């Protein structure tokens, strides 16, 4: 239990630092690290965690210049990284940030590093202009991505990699998907305007917000009028486009956003699978909020004997596990948790899932392969190998969405099984 006031900046800095230490020890933010923080303090802690992880490469570069030797106390090093992020984003409150970081250091590592934290942060402020100049001259540090990740992007996208890197380092946009079973998009946009939330229509059911807001500010969110979903992810339902009454499988469905979108567009006989019961509960909660129904089952989709009743599906959605390299701005810990060898590991798992799910597609039916990755081994190369193994598969549509200010990065390939 922290001795610091819950609403103080010192508390937020301390807790963000401890979460970052857990991330670099191998834990994922998806494991609920932020859920342990009191709701009153969570927004401030979350901002510091996500921001400092997005800019870790930058902060790491600065500390390499500011520290005369490596700092053994990991929690203090993490505190400095979080504080530097705060100083860069809130320069008008620099004095307060330094003061509160020193206060936080007083309750960490037995208080032995208060003077060091004060000195490093004040040196950072004095040397900030020169440090930024040095950073700009160092391509790897300026990219704020691991060197192997950067090499992958440069090889695959020799012209686009700077834009991909910039998107990965930026805060993500916030978009909504209107539940057209409950309300029209234009009507919902008017409701947003009535509470001073500006938005722009996108695609058939989407609205891009000018600025992110908490979901409890969204009119009717808890009544199922709308969901938060990236525009890139909203492509899924229109690409698979199952006919009303179709038997549909969403094979890797949690947390249920794409499942729900399919059901919002048409009446379907839909089965949603996911590996863990806890993730299946999230699917059920989302469907209940939106007033939708589907079968939900916890199972490994590649082990057909555990869940398939032998009846083929008209349409299958295979939104497979991947490196999440296209959504790294939403999962900034992924850049630092992933290893280059993970790409081959994910690709092997994806191939296993594809081959299994292909068996449950009826002749003339469709399978939509989806990743939120930009690495070719998980995308175009994966599909090329699959088509070589499966002579009855026909590629109907393929697209690689690279992350931009408007949407995250996704790969889509629609396959049809020949009769």
With tokens 């609403």, the residue in question is 7
CA-to-CA distance for 203 and 404, rounded, in angstroms?
16
Residue 271, strand partner residues: 249, 295
Active site residue 322: no
Query: Both ends of the chain: CA-CA distance in Å?
Result: 63
Q: What size, in residues, is the chain?
A: 419
Burial class for 303, CB neighbours closer than 10 Å (0-12, 13-18, 19+): exposed
Look at phi and psi of residue 42 and say left if phi exceeds 0, alpha if psi is from -120 to 50, else beta. alpha
Long-range contacts of 272-281 (CB under 8 A, 24+ apart): 272/296, 272/297, 273/249, 273/297, 273/298, 273/299, 273/301, 273/307, 274/298, 274/299, 275/299, 275/300, 275/301, 279/254, 279/255, 280/254
Residues with Cβ within 8 Å of residue 115, at least 6 apart in sequence = none
Catalytic residue among 280, 301, 372, 413: 372
Strands 247-250 and 269-274: parallel
| Cα–Cα distance, 409 to 79 (Å, whole number) | 31
Question: CB of 177 within 8 A of CB of 261?
Answer: yes
Report whether 254 contacts 279 (CB < 8 A).
yes
| C-alpha torsion 9→10→12→14, nearest 10 | 160
| Under 8 Å between Cβ of 145 and 168 | yes
Catalytic sites, residue numbers: 372
């Amino acid at each position: 239990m922290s001795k610091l006031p819950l609403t103080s900046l010192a508390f937020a800095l301390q807790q963000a630092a401890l979460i970052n230490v857990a991330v670099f020890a191998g834990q994922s933010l998806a494991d609920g690290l932020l859920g342990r923080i009191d709701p009153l303090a969570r927004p401030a802690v979350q901002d510091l965690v996500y921001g400092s992880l997005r800019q870790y490469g930058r902060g790491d570069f600065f500390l390499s210049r500011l520290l005369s030797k490596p700092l053994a106390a990991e929690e203090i090093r993490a505190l400095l990284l979080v504080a530097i992020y705060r100083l860069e984003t809130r320069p008008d409150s620099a004095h307060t940030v330094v003061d509160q970081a020193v206060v936080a250091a007083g309750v960490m590592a037995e208080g032995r590093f208060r003077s060091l934290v004060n000195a490093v942060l004040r040196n950072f402020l004095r040397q900030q202009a020169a440090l930024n100049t040095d950073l700009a001259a160092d391509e790897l540090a300026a990219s704020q991505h691991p060197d192997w990740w950067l090499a992958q992007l440069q090889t695959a996208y020799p012209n686009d990699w700077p834009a991909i890197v910039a998107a990965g380092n930026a805060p993500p946009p916030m978009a909504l998907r209107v539940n057209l079973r409950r309300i029209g998009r234009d009507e919902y946009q008017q409701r947003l305007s009535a509470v001073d939330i500006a938005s722009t229509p996108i695609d058939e059911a989407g609205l891009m917000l000018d600025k992110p807001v908490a979901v409890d500010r969204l009119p009717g969110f808890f009544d199922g009028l709308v969901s938060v979903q990236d525009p890139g992810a909203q492509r899924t339902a229109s690409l698979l486009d199952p006919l009303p009454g179709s038997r549909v499988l969403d094979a890797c469905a949690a947390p249920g956003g794409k499942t729900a979108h399919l059901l919002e567009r048409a009446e379907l006989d839909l089965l949603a699978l996911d590996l863990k019961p806890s993730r299946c509960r999230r699917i059920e909660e989302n469907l209940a909020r939106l007033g939708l129904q589907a079968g939900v089952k916890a199972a490994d989709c590649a082990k057909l004997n555990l869940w398939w009743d032998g009846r083929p599906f008209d349409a299958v959605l295979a939104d497979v596990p991947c490196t999440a390299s296209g959504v790294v701005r939403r999962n900034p810990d992924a850049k630092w948790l992933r290893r280059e060898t993970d790409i081959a590991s994910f690709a092997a798992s994806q191939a296993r899932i594809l081959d299994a799910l292909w068996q449950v597609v009826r002749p003339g039916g469709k399978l939509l392969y989806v990743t939120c990755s930009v690495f070719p081994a998980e995308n175009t190369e994966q599909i090329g190998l699959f088509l070589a193994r499966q002579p009855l598969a026909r590629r109907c549509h393929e697209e690689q969405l690279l992350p931009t200010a408007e949407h995250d990065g996704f790969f889509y390939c629609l396959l049809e099984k020949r009769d």
